[in-house]
Structure formats: structure tokens, C-alpha cells
């Protein structure tokens, strides 16, 4: 089994502040050129929605100050290089953003209606009426029309569990109820093929929230799939933070802060056969987005310290290429990816990520450019091992070299290794590759016989995976030894006193060794009582010889599954 190796691109590198638009550029060394990360500090203290207009290369970020009916709204507009183009302000708070199919019109959720902007001139078009919103809307453009949610509460403390309606925006700038409604701040997401997702966040009136897929191609919104996730005991309920269609619309990825990243089939919202790896320990899913070209999946998270907040990986869950990871921490980057804070450009060349601080009152816009190409990687020269004779229970070093094309890695790469023997395959973890490409896998084989070592490089977003390299080692038994000390002469009357030591290399014995003792004299050979070796490896033999003359004592141990046997003998004269 392969384990995914993590590669981090720290976004808290040397930064230079550019006055225009408050842009901050994370100026990384040349090794980081594979994935650029531009950062702009956003002029908002709360966040509602992110929308990307690829046709005009514009990014829209909406504030969400819904605490008062007198709060003004803010929509910050940036270009694809992170420069702020303009800021749109409204008399009342705004929430939710949606672009029409060609990007010519921006729909914005206002308190009393749906605002519309010409994206070429930023002029305000005729506003459409809508049900009063006191909690914040979600918008999506699907099937040629804009859909919006309308929650209403007498007090903002009731918003999380208030009844929310799903409405659509008519061509005459009126609105119409679709008939779909439920409790909580329902979220919308448009997808290819006139599809639309609606998801329900966990709230006091929805212990088992739903996810639903709609066909928006006709006059009537038709639900084609729906699912709730809790089991019979109420466990496993959805805790929705974000959702996204794959580029071809066949899959749905869900950022579930409890379960991580769910990957579902759009047709019936069943789990796919192969899902994505779990997020790093300590990271809770907050956002998800597929690139428009179908190559990448971006997963945002809420994490602290050095734990990654953003992972970019192949969209194909079966591709084991290691993700590119970003850890956001501090005043230059924010601390985590905001819920629903990820969107891609249509061609997949840029990822736009909104991050926030721990308090949730400051926001940043990151513009990440994944590498346009990948380079080859290969193992060269095969694998070698030392010592030449591998022994069960003793250290063994397996060495090799990884060769890379293209740019040098931003951080030391790692290879993964396994050992396969008669008992199966054993994972040996990861090993760091040195700057010259060499690496050493340390192991302690515990089984006599052939052991095959396999080393893998799973690649990263800059380098393709390398073909595994294997090496078979013959593992032998470890040596054992017996040292025996005897007097030069002994007598039948006083007896003989022998001392000795026993040692076994390699794997520790499961219990103390028991030694066989034989005595050979002119009357023949006989077996004496066995002796057990003490904890310090010593032993003692006391015997009364049965006859005069030359006498030999032989001590032996037969060995075990991991150790060779050993014998030792001493010969001396016995007198009366």
C-alpha cells in the first residue's frame, strides 16, 4: 500500500507590500516557482461569497454584514493578478454572488432584492424585487436564470435555524417561489448541464441535513437526487461547509467538517467507489472546488499551526500524486480557508482562495497558480544494501538515488518504502531524499529468507511519480556464541566447576536460552542436566566426574528461527 507524501509550500515567506490595491506578493525562492501564491488583503470584516468571472478576468468578493438593516454592503473587485480594480458599495448589506453564463452580468443578493451589475462597466442595472432577507442569501445561476434563497428572522440570533425559501429571479425582475424550502441557511451551487446543488447546514431544526441535486433546465425546478447521511443511530449526519460539481458534472465533492471530503455520484448522491484521502490530522474541511479543466481538486480546511489549510491534488481520486500543501498562519496570510472560500478560473490556471484569521474579522484573497507542466522523476542505479549479509533482527540499510527533471524541489522530497517477506508486505514509512538525490532506508528484517524492498516516489504537482524500484535481500540467521572456561585439572573427589557465557546477536530471544551439556570420558558419552543462561548471559556447570583420565565437556545450543546454533568444548585431566 502506498501512503501519500506531503509537500508543503509555505506561504508565509518573504513578502513585499505593493501600494496599489494593497497587494502582497509572497516572494518565494526560485524553487517555489512551480506554484505562485499572490495575496491581497481584503477590505472586509465579514465574508459572504466569492465569484470568478473568467471572461473578464475579475474576482468578486462580497461582505456579509447582516447584523443591522442600516449596514452598507461591499463587493471588492480584483483582477487575476491580485490588483483591486474597484469596490462596489450598496445602501444595505449584500450577500451571495452569481454570474450569468457569459459573465456579462453579476447578480448580488441584497436585503430587499437582487441587484445586477454590468461586469464590463460596473454600472447598476435595474434591481429585481425579492423577499426580504435578514440573514444572508445564497445565489446560483443555473438553467439560464438566477436562483436565490430567502431566509427571514426577527432577530439575527434566529438565522441559523430559520425557515428559508428557494426562489428564482424572473426575466421581468420579479421573483417566484419554487416551492422548495427548509430550515437553516440553505446553500446553492450551480454546475454543468443545468444542474444545481442545494445543501442544508447542520442546525437546531435539522439534525440530519440534506443534500439535493436539481435539474434547472425547465420552467420547473426538478429534484433528481437527494440524500441524508445519518445512520439509524443518528450518527454520520452531514455538517456542510461547501460543495462543488466536478468539471463534467458526474461527481459532487462535499466539504463536511465532521467527515472530511465526501465524493458522491451526481446521479444518486451515492458514495463513489474510491474517495479522497483524509485531510491531515487536526484539519476540518471548510471548502472544496474542482478546476474548470478537470485536472485538480482544491480542498480548504480550518487548521492551526503548521497543519495544512489548503491542499491541491489531482481531481482523479485514484491518482496517488502527492498534494501541494499550503499552511496559512499569521498577519500576511490569515489562519485558515473560509467556508465556501475556493473558486477556480475556467481554464484551471488559477485558484482563488479566501482565508480568514482565527477571530473571523479579517480576510485575505490568495491567487494560486499550479504548475503548468510536470517533469519526470526516476530512480537511477538500482538499490544496494549493507551489510552484505543481512541478518534477522539487525539493522539493514537500503540505498538508492532519485533523479529529477525540471526545477529543484521547494523542500526535501520523500520516498516511501515497503518490505515484502513470507509474512506479507510491511510499510517502512517515508525517507527524506538528500540534495544530491540519494536516500537511505533503514530497516530491521525479522524473518529469515528473501525480503524484497520496494521504494516509491509518488510525485508532486511539479514531478510525475517514478516507476518503483525493487531489491531482494537474502536474510540469514544471526550468529550465537558460547565461551566456556574450565580448570586445567580436576579431581573426582572435589568435582569440576565450569563457567561460561552465551550471546546471541540480532533479534532478542523470547526467553532465556537452555544449553545442552555432554560429558565424554573413557567410559563413553553421556548427557548431563541442561543449564539455563542467566539474564546477563552467564551460566555455571558443576559436576562430579565418574572416572579418571582425559574428560571433555561440550555445551551446545540448537538455535531457533532467527539464530544459528553454537557449541563449545573444554578438555582437561581428571584425577582421583
pLDDT reported for residue 155? 84
Flag whether pLDDT at 380 surpasses 90: yes
Do domains 7-369 and 480-575 share one topology? The answer is no
Superfamily of domain 377-476: SoxY domain (2.60.40.2470)
Q: What top-level class would CATH report for the domain 7-369? A: mainly beta
**Residue 138 CB partners (closer than 8 Å, separation 6+):** 49, 95, 96, 109, 148, 149, 185, 186, 187, 188
Flag whether pLDDT at 8 surpasses 60: no
Q: Which tops the pLDDT comparison, 129 or 456?
A: 456
pLDDT reported for residue 35? 54
pLDDT band at 376 (very low <50, low <70, confident <90, very high): confident
pLDDT reported for residue 72? 85
Q: Please tell me whether the overall predicted TM-score, pTM, comes out greater than 0.95 for this model.
A: no
CA trace torsion 84, 368, 305, 323 (10° rounding): 170
Query: Over the stretch 279-305, which tens digit does the pLDDT of each residue have?
Result: 999 999 999 999 999 999 999 999 988
**Taking phi first (over 0 means left), then psi (-120 to 50 degrees means alpha), and beta for anything else, what does residue 360 get?**
left
In the sheet that holds 396-404, the strands lie side by side as 377-386, 396-404, 438-443
pLDDT reported for residue 13? 29
DSSP symbols for 9-54: --S-S-EEEETGGGEEEE---GGGTTSEEEEEE-S-SS--EEEEET
| H or E, element range at 89 | strand 84-90
Closest by CA to 11, choosing from 411, 429, 328, 426, is 328
Question: Where along the chain do its domains lie?
Answer: 7-369, 377-476, 480-575
For residues 239 and 234, what is the distance between their CA atoms, to the nearest angstrom?
Answer: 13
**What is the pLDDT of the chain when averaged over all its residues?**
89
Query: Over the stretch 119-170, which tens digit does the pLDDT of each residue have?
Result: 999 988 877 778 888 899 999 999 999 999 999 888 888 999 999 999 998 7
The architecture in CATH of the region 480-575 reads Sandwich (2.60)
Residue range 217-238: mean pLDDT, rounded: 95
pLDDT reported for residue 74? 93
b/e per residue, 159-183, with b = 16+ CB within 10 A?
A: bbbbebbbbbbeeeeebeebebebb
Amino acid at each position: 500500500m502506498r501512503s501519500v507524501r506531503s509537500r508543503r509550500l509555505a506561504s508565509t515567506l518573504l513578502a513585499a507590500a505593493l501600494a496599489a490595491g494593497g497587494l502582497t506578493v509572497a516572494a518565494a525562492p526560485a524553487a517555489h516557482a512551480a506554484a505562485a501564491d499572490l495575496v491581497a488583503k481584503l477590505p472586509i470584516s465579514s465574508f459572504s461569497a466569492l465569484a470568478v468571472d473568467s471572461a473578464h478576468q475579475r474576482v468578486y468578493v462580497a461582505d456579509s454584514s447582516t447584523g443591522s438593516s442600516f449596514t452598507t454592503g461591499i463587493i471588492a473587485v480584483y483582477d487575476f493578478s491580485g490588483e483591486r480594480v474597484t469596490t462596489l458599495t450598496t445602501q444595505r448589506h449584500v450577500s451571495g454572488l452569481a454570474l450569468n453564463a457569459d459573465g456579462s452580468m453579476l447578480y448580488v443578493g441584497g436585503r430587499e432584492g437582487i441587484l445586477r451589475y454590468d461586469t464590463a462597466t460596473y454600472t447598476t442595472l435595474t434591481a429585481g424585487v425579492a423577499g426580504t432577507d435578514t440573514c444572508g442569501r445564497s445565489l446560483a445561476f443555473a438553467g439560464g436564470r438566477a436562483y436565490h434563497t430567502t431566509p427571514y428572522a426577527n432577530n439575527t440570533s434566529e438565522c441559523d435555524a430559520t425557515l428559508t425559501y428557494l426562489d428564482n429571479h424572473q426575466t421581468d425582475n420579479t421573483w417566484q417561489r419554487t416551492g422548495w424550502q427548509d430550515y437553516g441557511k440553505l446553500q446553492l451551487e450551480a454546475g454543468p448541464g443545468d444542474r444545481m446543488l442545494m445543501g442544508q447546514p447542520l442546525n437546531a431544526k435539522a439534525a440530519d441535513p440534506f443534500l439535493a441535486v436539481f435539474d434547472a433546465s425547465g420552467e420547473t425546478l426538478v429534484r433528481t437526487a437527494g440524500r441524508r447521511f445519518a445512520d439509524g443511530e443518528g450518527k454520520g449526519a452531514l455538517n456542510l461547509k461547501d460543495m462543488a460539481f466536478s468539471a463534467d458534472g458526474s461527481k459532487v465533492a462535499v466539504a463536511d467538517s465532521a467527515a472530511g471530503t465526501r465524493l458522491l455520484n451526481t446521479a444518486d448522491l451515492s458514495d463513489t467507489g474510491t474517495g479522497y484521502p483524509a485531510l491531515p490530522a487536526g484539519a476540518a474541511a471548510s471548502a472544496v472546488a474542482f478546476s474548470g479543466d478537470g485536472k485538480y481538486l482544491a480542498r480548504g480546511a480550518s487548521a492551526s499551526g503548521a497543519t495544512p489549510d489548503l491542499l491541491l491534488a489531482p481531481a482523479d481520486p485514484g491518482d496517488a500524486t502527492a498534494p501541494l500543501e499550503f499552511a496559512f498562519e499569521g498577519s500576511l496570510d490569515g489562519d485558515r480557508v473560509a467556508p465556501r472560500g475556493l473558486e477556480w478560473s475556467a481554464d484551471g490556471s488559477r485558484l482563488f482562495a479566501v482565508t480568514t484569521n482565527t477571530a473571523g474579522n479579517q480576510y485575505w484573497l490568495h491567487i494560486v497558480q499550479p504548475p503548468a507542466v510536470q517533469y519526470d522523476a526516476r530512480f537511477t542505479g538500482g538499490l544496494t544494501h549493507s551489510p552484505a549479509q543481512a541478518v534477522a533482527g539487525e539493522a539493514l540499510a537500503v540505498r538508492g538515488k532519485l533523479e529529477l527533471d525540471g526545477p529543484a524541489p521547494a523542500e526535501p522530497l520523500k520516498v516511501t518504502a515497503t518490505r515484502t517477506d513470507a509474512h506479507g508486505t510491511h510499510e517502512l514509512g517515508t525517507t527524506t531524499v538528500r540534495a544530491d538525490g540519494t536516500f537511505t532506508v533503514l530497516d530491521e528484517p525479522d524473518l529469515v529468507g528473501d525480503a524484497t524492498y520496494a521504494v516509491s516516489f509518488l510525485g508532486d504537482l511539479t514531478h510525475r511519480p517514478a516507476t518503483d524500484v525493487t531489491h531482494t535481500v537474502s536474510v540469514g540467521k544471526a550468529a550465537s556464541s558460547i565461551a566456556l572456561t574450565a580448570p586445567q585439572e580436576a579431581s573426582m573427589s572435589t568435582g569440576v566447576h565450569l563457567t561460561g557465557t552465551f550471546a546471541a546477536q540480532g533479534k532478542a530471544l523470547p526467553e532465556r536460552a537452555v544449553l545442552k551439556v555432554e560429558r565424554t570420558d573413557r567410559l563413553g558419552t553421556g548427557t548431563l542436566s541442561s543449564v539455563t543462561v542467566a539474564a546477563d548471559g552467564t551460566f555455571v556447570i558443576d559436576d562430579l566426574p565418574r572416572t579418571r583420565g582425559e574428560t571433555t565437556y561440550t555445551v551446545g545450543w540448537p538455535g531457533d528461527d532467527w539464530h544459528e546454533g553454537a557449541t563449545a568444548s573444554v578438555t582437561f585431566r581428571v584425577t582421583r
